Amino acid sequence: MQITFTVKNNTYAADTASGKTIAIPVAFGGPQPNTYNVERASAEPYRSGEFVGDVRQGGSCNFESYTMVPHCNGTHTECIGHITRERLSLHDVPQELAVPSTLVSISPESGVHSGESYMPAFGLNDLAVTRGALEEALGDAEREWLNALVIRTLPNDGSKRERNYMEVPPPFFTNDAMLYIKELGVRHLLVDFPSLDRLFDDGMLSNHRIFWNVALGTAEATPASLTNKTVTEMIYADNELADGRYLLSMQYPSFIADAAPSKPVLYPITEVRS
Q: Is the peptide bond before 155 cis (omega within 30 degrees of 0)?
A: yes
Indicate whether 127 belongs to any domain. Answer: yes
pLDDT tens digits, residue range 195-230?
999 999 999 999 999 999 999 999 999 999 999 999
Classify the C-alpha dihedral 78-84-90-96 as positive or negative: negative
CATH of the domain at 198: 3.50.30.50
Looking at the domain assignment, is residue 42 inside a domain? Answer: no
Q: Give residue 274's pLDDT.
A: 62
- Give the per-residue pLDDT at 218: 96
Say if 194 falls within a structural domain.
yes
Domain hosting residue 249, numbered range: 2-26+69-271
Whether the per-residue pLDDT at 273 is higher than 80: the answer is: no
Question: Quick count: other Cβ atoms within 10 Å of Cβ 201?
Answer: 16
Residue 39 within a domain: no
Is 48 inside a domain boundary?
A: no
Pairing mode, strands 259-261 and 76-78:
antiparallel
Mean of the pLDDT values across residues 141-164? Answer: 96
- Mean pLDDT along residues 243-252: 96
For the chain, how many structural domains are there in total? 1
Q: What is the mean pLDDT of residues 242-248?
A: 97
Q: Does residue 54 fall inside a structural domain?
A: no
DSSP 3-state percent helix, strand, coil across the chain (nearest 5): 15, 30, 55
Mark residue 37 as left, alpha or beta (left: phi above 0; alpha: psi -120 to 50; beta: remaining). left
Burial (0-12, 13-18, 19+ Cβ within 10 Å), 9: exposed
95: pLDDT strictly greater than 90: no
Any idea of the CA torsion for 144, 145, 148, 152, to the nearest 10 degrees?
-150
- Does residue 55 have a pLDDT over 80? yes
% of the chain beyond a pLDDT of 90: 92
